[in-house]
Structure 1
């Protein structure tokens, strides 16, 4: 086959692939959204659980029935309500998706209206999709149009990113200074890591931190109750076994009564229930003694309760960790302490802590990236490291991270093991996962496509490699066009919740048998793992930007990608998702840092193409753009990274100033407007004394130039109310194993009232037991009324070690 015939065949194949992808993905997307619309009201647990499961102050109004009736409430709900329901993380995620949607919609108009005709009309006249790419341009003068568009796109992106950065900081400050948040345990508590052993005691830590405003309220020295942890886990597993045995027995007995009646034969002493219906198991699989499962599990739980009680009297013997939670009386003290204490973490909820990692420090996490420390973790490397010259060690340490990136996902759990919060894991995973995608999806694919396309020409004429790459690198755009198209159906799948729908129905039909299992299946909400949710969209924005000028056809599909995902995510944050871990929007900062790399790849790719096409003047102009962009990005990062408002609240925002009214607050009352503050302002003497005596004693003498009208503009988003996290008590930051309650044994009710005997026997064995909210229906299946069910979700918290001893039995 001739080279021309082969080229024509490849071109036809690429065009057919694109056309098929368009038809297939649009059809699948439309069908999936229609399916979602048809079944969303039939399975409320999957499609609108936030209308009835979450606390009332977090609930959304039910979605109206009818075709496309969900669109209006989804799009018309105020952003302030999104913040209150999805948290600042969820809102900033939606805001990023919406921002990309707006940007790529604008880019589409310019790309399709200007660049596409420049690429196609009167040039090489290549067939198929190639005629729309920059590879079709013959006239070098036309490449200046691409340069101009690169400048316009870059300026629009940088301006938008700066505005979004600024908006994020404003919203974060508003969120952290709401009255609800300022008194919460999250706001008033810091986690200090790497405490020297000689200072790791309550008295010394209190003396050290009492200098901060308000003083120390509580200190929790972290310990590792390894034995106690194992016991509580074993007890919960045994309770699950007991509940399964009790439920199976009651169902069998109910069937026995209905089918055969009570014969009075084959019964236990003092019990009307037939012995043959009692579940049994062997103490050792296959060869052990057969025992009554219910009685055996009761005895095991009773013994475990005694062991747990005994262990809780030995807390002083638990291994002392080099970390502590310190709660202050005033959140100002917590913020100031956090700015001066290294290493430290703020805004940590009890649920966010990875307790087993509290003995690791931030210094440790950073140090494992060096080869010398790695040899300590992997001892067999030590002889090799000792033999290497310093130059070789430096080279390996510099190259090793880049090489390790390719296998990052395999060893990710090991790399993240030193992190002490779940939100920290998500942020770290977010960053690493993005670079994994960037290298493997964008860079490797684009480079491989260009090289392989140019390889035949290079073999025949080695001197033509430069011109061949210039023409063939744009051919990779076909792959990315289909890649973006595939994401459209993924957006529809996000709305339909295929995975959650399948797991819910499968668990309901085959796995959930006991009241506890059914209750958890009916009330557990899914949540987004930001570590794997954010990066694909940043990658998509990077792909759209890199190929925006090379192949303008990618722009409308990229805009549609973000539009559909914005619609799906906005609905799900309002009606479906729960968010367990909160970073106060910090994931937004990570996402913007990642998108910077997409901008750099965009510029470097265009520079390379200009020089490959021997358009040297245009290439130099793009080099200038790259340098300017690099400087602006570094300046932007420096400005926001070192802006104290980006991480901690500065003194002038620690409740001293209301950011909406721009007035000073003294003892909860508004006084002077912040716009009147100047260097020579004279305060009222009485107000000055009151102000000086408060915990917030100083305010900058200069006007707050960075607080502009956006803080008081009613047309922009403001956060009116913070989270509902409680102030906390003496148990808030104790290890869960120290305070876990004696969990309930949840037994379903049956029509023969045999359950009453089972509940009674559990209580006589020293176990908490109840039957409320669960019944066995006429089909011998357990039903649970979630409104009447006991509160089993709080079993990992509430009662202290002392009050646990006095736990009373829960009544029906």
Structure 2
């Protein structure tokens, strides 16, 4: 049975059919046909020599070299190159296959269209083409320079715009401004910690561009005091990225860029933007050996810097854990409680008698089914709003009756739920007398052990999603399976979405549909150049900005999150995966993600030539992609959505109420999870292409310098404090960067295998995978950052400093507090006497 083996069949057909076509051209074809075929042959010869696709395009557009004699000479050279350089038939992505010798000459171009990296940009079946990731071409230098200048001007205008808005609307842009550094140090010395942001505070020393200088001056410790450890570590990540670019990227740029330009062999031809990149290196150049060493340099130094940054984080994580306030520090979340143990007395017995042998439990708060109570509370709120003049359809007498009825039902249900335990679910928050007992309980009943109940560290009491704790575990599994299925569908349908956006934004489409664009481009060619430099990256960035919202809807509806902060972590993990596939690997996908994945499952070693053939031909796109992120950062800092909501709300409410209604910022795209994923992909792109196009390191460094300033300003002045996971996002970012180094190694090993005269440079570069694998395992073994060691809790200081708790207990907000000290003492006494 015939088995499709991917684009390799097409290349085999093209290469083997050319000699036959050449013989027939000398006897049968006319001069024009011979000219066309010779041009195709010259393009393949250039590709076999290692020339970039721009040279192939130049050869295709040439109309001078078309004689049958020249064509035959090119075919002889092609045959010699094939015998010399093509790999064995059964082990290569570019293998040779049996063909139909009667195929026409046009099949050469159609065959090349099915090979990753040889596709024409106009081929709409190619994932890179339809998503706007254009391949390198002559004239890209003008496009890049125009786009760079445009992005720079937009950044400068954005900075001016933000500085003006800070003065005009301080409630939106300076409402959470922190005291000066000296005052902060004084408060820290007196109280031992920095309190919550001071609403409405505005320093008299505030300057027009003061937010920029503060962005460089504020330390991450000050940011941690104001916004939490997670956001402080996001700022630390921008500093780590700067360090990597300075110590890894810029030295490579200073070394490799001149070598590519003056010693590469001028393989790029007229493509001046590629002169500084690896595309200017001819086949068999000695620079392949330099690149083999450079791969080791990037992998070793980047891993070392990541390990160093993680070691600096560990004391801060330990400090955050030690300063965790009660009740979170002394409480555990118990799940999977069987029906016979769903009482406070039974749970006390489990821990006090079966685990510790003494009174260890202070309080047990079951998560209760309060759906009916919540329904009546909403009815009470509606009736109250009607009485206050916000209703339209009911009379005052009817509203008063509804309010009294709802109030009576709310009080009845609250008393019933508080006094009985019939509404208890299989989840409960157990608070211990000491923190050490909570840590021991987590280790004894960890989710990895086959126990009937599971014990874990609880979320922040003000961030708990109680409804997710009421669902049945079996139902949760089915819902999560459905969620993963929808994520897979999202992977499949995302590409058509990008196609639609790109089609609408394409200048070719607009000029054909709207006569105004045809006239504009004809009279102002610079407009087309500017459009081509910006629209591709902007269209892809716009499409990717929709993904966090789609992911958030899936997670909220189908996943058991237990806390809002964990939603952000899920968004970070999955959004980064989408970014890697549809931004970084889109050139290697071909026409179908499923087809590419299926091929790699059958022939995993084909990943080396697959990446090496496609990704180096789109380096110009990523040179435009990074400066475009400067503009995206300005857009984030401008907070235009919050400003719009504030201005509308201020028309109907007081400024303080309008401020409350305008916050927070969009937590799908501007939440900590999405921000961490976007910053990680920028650094990943820079590391992946730092040797192929070394100048990308400079633009990435500028981005992270600007990101440091913008995030510092947002966290210290503009945005309110959010729930904190204590560095979880930071660790995920570092792991993402470590994983991305494998992609860089595979890419460079494949490129060197194609470009070098021998396999040794590729083997040297590929051998760094061994070091990378060891580093990945060592990262997991060395850093035990999740929990505080029990030995550190042996001598707890009850009078030590703790952060301010967001909430005093884990009781559901719809239930009033009812346990007094006397009631707690009675409950403990009943447990000791084994009373019901």
TM range (shorter): 0.5 to 0.7
Matches within 5 A, 1:497-536: 497-509=639-651, 512-513=652-653, 517-518=657-658, 520-521=660-661, 529-536=671-678
Distance (whole Å) between structure 1 residues aligned to residue 316 and residue 477 of structure 2: 30
Question: What residue is the counterpart of 2:176 in the other structure?
Answer: 50
3-state secondary structure, aligned to 1:631? helix
Matching residue within 12, 35, 42 for 2:161: 35
Give the superposition deviation at 1:574.
Answer: 1.0
Alpha-carbon separation, structure 2, partners of 1:591 and 1:466: 25
Q: 1:508 to 1:448 in 2, by over 3 A?
A: farther
Query: Residue 18 of structure 1: which of 134, 144, 149 is its match?
Result: 144
Q: Map residues 19-168 of structure 1 onto 2, 5 A cutoff.
A: 19-51=145-177, 57-59=195-197, 62-63=202-203, 64-122=205-263, 123=265, 124-126=267-269, 127-138=271-282, 139-168=284-313
Match of 1:359 in 2: 470
Q: Give 1:584 deviation, angstroms.
A: 1.4
Give the Å deviation of 1:431: 0.7
C-alpha distance in structure 1 between counterparts of 2:373 and 2:486, whole Å: 40
Tell me the alpha carbon deviations over residues 427-469 of structure 1, each in whole angstroms, 9 at most, x when there is no partner: 1221111111111111114555999xxxxxxxxxxxxx99998
Write the deviation string for residues 356-388 of structure 1: whole angstroms up to 9, x where unpaired: 11034789767877xxxx5xx79xxxxxxxxxx
**Contact (CA 8 Å) 2:686, 2:697: kept in 1 or not?**
yes
1:360 touches 1:420 (CA, 8 Å); kept in 2?
Answer: no
Q: Aligned with 1:647: secondary structure?
A: coil
Matched, 1:305 2:305: no
Shift of 1:322: 0.9
Q: Which residue in the other structure is 1:339 paired with?
A: 443
Equivalent residue number for residue 724 of structure 1: 804
Structure 2 counterpart SS, 1:50: coil
Per mean C-alpha deviation after superposition, the further-off stretch among 586-595 and 91-100 is 586-595
SS of the residue 1:552 aligns to:
coil
In 2, distance between residues paired with 1:221 and 1:162? 42
1:52, 1:633 → 2: CA distance? 39
Q: Match for residue 772 of structure 1?
A: none
SS in 2 for 1:49: coil
Separation (CA, whole Å) in 2 of partners of 1:321 and 1:541: 45
Cross-structure match for 1:227:
372
After the TM superposition, which residues 54-453 of structure 1 pair with which residues of structure 2 at under 5 Å, given as runs? Answer: 57-59=195-197, 62-63=202-203, 64-122=205-263, 123=265, 124-126=267-269, 127-138=271-282, 139-178=284-323, 181=324, 184-210=326-352, 211-212=355-356, 215-245=360-390, 281-283=392-394, 291-292=395-396, 296-315=398-417, 316=420, 319-342=423-446, 343-360=454-471, 374=481, 405-406=491-492, 410=550, 413-415=553-555, 417-445=559-587, 447-448=589-590
The 3 A distance-change label for structure 1 pair 550 and 422 is: same
Which sits farther off after the overlay, 578-587 or 470-479?
A: 470-479
What SS does structure 2 have at the residue aligned with 1:581? coil
Name 1:691's counterpart in structure 2: none
**Secondary structure of 1:57's match?**
coil
Q: Once the 2 structures are TM-superposed, how far is the Cα of residue 188 of structure 1 from its aligned partner?
A: 1.0
Structure 2 contact 214–709 (Cα < 8 Å) conserved = no
Q: Report deviation, 1:595.
A: 2.0
Does structure 1 residue 546 correspond to structure 2 residue 688?
yes
**TM-score normalised by structure 2 residue count:** 0.64
Residue aligning to 2:773: 630
| CA displacement 1:297-322 (0-9 Å, x = unmatched) | 44433322111112113213764321
Q: Secondary structure at the match of 1:220?
A: strand
For the structure 1 residues 519 and 586, does the alpha-carbon distance in structure 2 shift closer, same or farther, using more than 3 Å as the test?
closer
Decide whether aligned partners of structure 1 residues 802 and 314 sit closer, same or farther in structure 2, where only a CA change above 3 A counts.
farther
Contact 1:133/1:474 (<8 A) preserved: no
Structure 1 equivalent of residue 46 of structure 2: none
Residue 332 of structure 1 contacts residue 654 of structure 1 at CA under 8 Å; is this kept in 2? yes
* Separation (CA, whole Å) in 2 of partners of 1:563 and 1:77: 14
Q: Per-residue deviation at 1:216?
A: 0.8
Taking structure 1 as reference, are residues 236 and 141 closer, same or farther at Cα in structure 2, changes over 3 Å only?
farther
Shift of 1:50: 1.0
Distance 1:485 1:515 in 2: 37
Rounded to whole Å, the distance in 1 between the matches of 2:257 and 2:302 is 21
Residue 429 and residue 468 in structure 1: after superposition, are their counterparts in 2 closer, same or farther (change >3 A)? closer
Unaligned runs of 5+ in 2: 1-35, 40-56, 63-134, 185-192, 447-453, 495-546, 594-606, 822-836
Is the Cα contact below 8 Å between 1:135 and 1:472 reproduced in 2?
no
Q: For each residue in 1:561-609, what CA deviation from the matched residue of structure 2 results, as whole angstroms up to 9, or x when unmatched?
A: 1111111001111112223311111121222222223211111111111
Higher helix share: 2
| TM-score, length-scaled by structure 1 | 0.66
C-alpha distance in structure 1 between counterparts of 2:710 and 2:567, whole Å:
25
Cα–Cα, structure 1 residues 67 and 515, in superposed 2: closer, same or farther, change >3 Å? Answer: closer
Extract unaligned runs of 5+ from structure 1: 246-279, 284-290, 379-396, 452-464, 657-664, 669-719, 740-798, 804-812
Q: How do 1:476-487 and structure 2 match up within 5 A?
A: 476-487=618-629
Task: Tell me: CA distance 1:622–1:214, structure 2 relative to 1, closer, same or farther (3 Å).
Answer: farther
User: Displacement, 1:189?
Assistant: 1.0
Query: Per the alignment, do residues 241 and 667 of structure 1 end up closer, same or farther by CA in structure 2, a change over 3 Å counting?
Result: closer
C-alpha RMSD of matched pairs (Å):
3.7
User: How far apart, in 1, do the equivalents of 2:694 and 2:377 lie?
Assistant: 59
Q: Against the structure 1 CA distance between its residues 634 and 560, is the aligned structure 2 distance closer, same or farther, given a 3 Å change threshold?
A: same
User: How far, CA to CA, are the matches of 1:589 and 1:363 in structure 2?
Assistant: 31
- Alpha-carbon spacing, 1:513–1:68, altered in 2? closer, same or farther (3 Å): closer
